Amino acid sequence: MKTIRVGSRESKLAVIQSELVMDAIRASHPDVVLELVTMKTTGDKILDRTLDKIGGKGLFVKELDAALLEGRADLTVHSCKDLPMEENPAIPLAGFSRREDPRDVLVLPEGVTELDETKPIGCASARRAVQLKALFPRMEVAPVRGNVLTRLRKLDEGQFSALVLAAAGLKRLELEHRITRYFSVEEMIPAAGQGILALQTRAGENLDYLDGVVDEEGTLCARAERAFVRALDGGCSSPIAAHAQLHDEDILITGLYVDGAGKVLRRTVTGPRDRGEALAVSLANEMKEGCLCPEK
């Protein structure tokens, strides 16, 4: 019998996401034996600084990448939005899952029904911060680190008036009841890959066991969104966002980019679904050249 060791960050959400993938593998390949291997990444250990100050999103995958390269894991499962945009050909992304809810949400402290304007809204990305300032111009926005449960504890302790989190993570943690407001994908363009799980393996491996996990729509959208951010050299500190949606045989891609002068640009492009990555790169290049009007 084939044994697959599945590598995961040790946070509750990461384990749940890995178990979702493992359940899907078992459903289509009951002969495969699965073992979960968890580890704490550098990004999980350093919580007193924002990601752009300590090395970016790669700190959440460094240990998992090493486990793949050294043969201690055969498959790693990631939140797609937390992955660096550049891929190592020795450990390629094998595909992406069906997308859970891609939206961002507003979460208030337990028992609270209105924003307290004397405290900041906590968020963990420049992408969210720049869009929050347009939605709540009178509110301060402050960084917050830690996994979802840690952030919720900080919120309920009174450190923030509210948090902005990904709907997908709260739903997977069965914390949907904490959501106060859903932001539409037009109000707050999601991070590239938000709501999608990315599957990473070693090059040259037989990946037939993933046929019940990899989703065509999720993969097309994730690859287009990642291509947009990669074309703009976007890291975790860059106010860049991309969201793709499929409509029959077409793909619609919406991008957000903040240039060096602080000008916020948004635009949407539509074209054939099999040209998503090329369309995304073209859109990114157009926005980089600054030929669009600033957001009203």
Decide if 136 is inside a domain.
yes
Pair 8, 122 in one domain:
no
Which residues have a catalytic role annotated?
82
Q: Are 83 and 198 in contact (CB under 8 A)?
A: yes
Quick one: 9 and 136 in the same domain? no
Instruction: Report yes or no on 188 lying in a domain.
Output: no
**Residues sharing a CB contact under 8 Å with residue 75, sequence separation 6 or more, in sequence order:** 4, 5, 6, 7, 21, 94, 199, 200, 201, 210
Using CA of residue 12, residue 14, residue 15, residue 20, what is the dihedral sign? positive
Measured CA to CA, the distance from residue 154 to residue 158 in angstroms comes to 7
Contact 192, 228 (CB under 8 A): yes
Give the Cα separation of 162 and 151 in Å (integer): 10
Report DSSP state, residue 72.
S
Could you tell me if residue 191 is inside a domain?
no
Residues making up the chain, counted from first to last: 296
Range of the domain at 280: 215-296
* Residue 120 to residue 272: CA distance in whole angstroms: 42
Query: 21 and 90 share a domain?
Result: yes
pLDDT in tens, the chain (296 residues): 789 999 999 999 999 999 999 999 999 999 999 999 999 765 444 444 444 444 445 556 888 999 999 999 999 999 999 898 989 999 999 999 999 999 999 999 999 999 999 999 999 889 999 999 999 999 999 999 888 999 999 999 999 999 999 999 999 999 999 999 999 999 999 999 999 999 999 999 999 999 999 999 999 999 999 999 999 986 556 789 999 999 999 999 999 999 878 888 999 999 999 999 999 999 999 998 864 444 43
- Strand order of the sheet with strand 75-79? 33-39, 3-9, 75-79, 197-201, 93-96
Task: Kindly state whether residues 205 and 59 are assigned to the same domain.
Answer: yes
Q: For the chain, state the CA radius of gyration.
A: 19
pLDDT of 50: 47
Distances from the Cα of 119 to the Cαs of 131, 154, 264, in angstroms? 18, 12, 25
Residue 226 domain-assigned (yes or no): yes
> Is residue 200 domain-shared with residue 62, that is, in the same domain?
yes
Q: Are residues 232 and 283 in the same domain?
A: yes
In whole angstroms, give the CA distance from residue 162 to residue 114. Answer: 9
- Does residue 269 sit in the same domain as residue 220? yes
H/E segment holding residue 22: helix 12-28
74 located within any domain: yes
Question: Domain check: are 151 and 229 in the same one?
Answer: no
**CATH number of the domain enclosing 254:** 3.30.160.40
Whether residue 60 sits in one domain with residue 204: yes
Please tell me whether residues 85 and 117 are part of one structural domain. Answer: no
Please indicate, yes or no, if residue 288 is contained in any of the structural domains.
yes
Q: Are 96 and 197 in contact (CB under 8 A)?
A: yes
CATH number of the domain that 32 lies in? 3.40.190.10
Q: Is the dihedral of CA 265, 266, 272, 277 positive or negative?
A: positive
Q: What tens digit of pLDDT does each residue of 36-60 get?
A: 999 976 544 444 444 444 444 555 6
pTM of the model: 0.89
CA separation for the pair 282, 251 (Å, rounded): 14
Distance separating the N- and C-terminal Cα atoms of the chain: 59
Nearest CA to 81 out of 63, 107, 111, 101 is that of 101
- For the chain, the domain total comes to 3
Residue 233: per-residue pLDDT:
81
* Beta carbons of 191 and 241 less than 8 angstroms apart: yes
Element at 201 (helix H, strand E) = strand 197-201
Please tell me whether residues 72 and 110 are part of one structural domain.
Answer: no
Q: Are residues 89 and 159 in the same domain?
A: no
CA dist., res. 14 & res. 185, Å (int)? 24
Residue 268 structure tokens: 């949407």
In three-state secondary structure terms, 269 is strand
Residue 127 lies in a domain: yes
Asked if residue 189 belongs to a domain, the reply is no
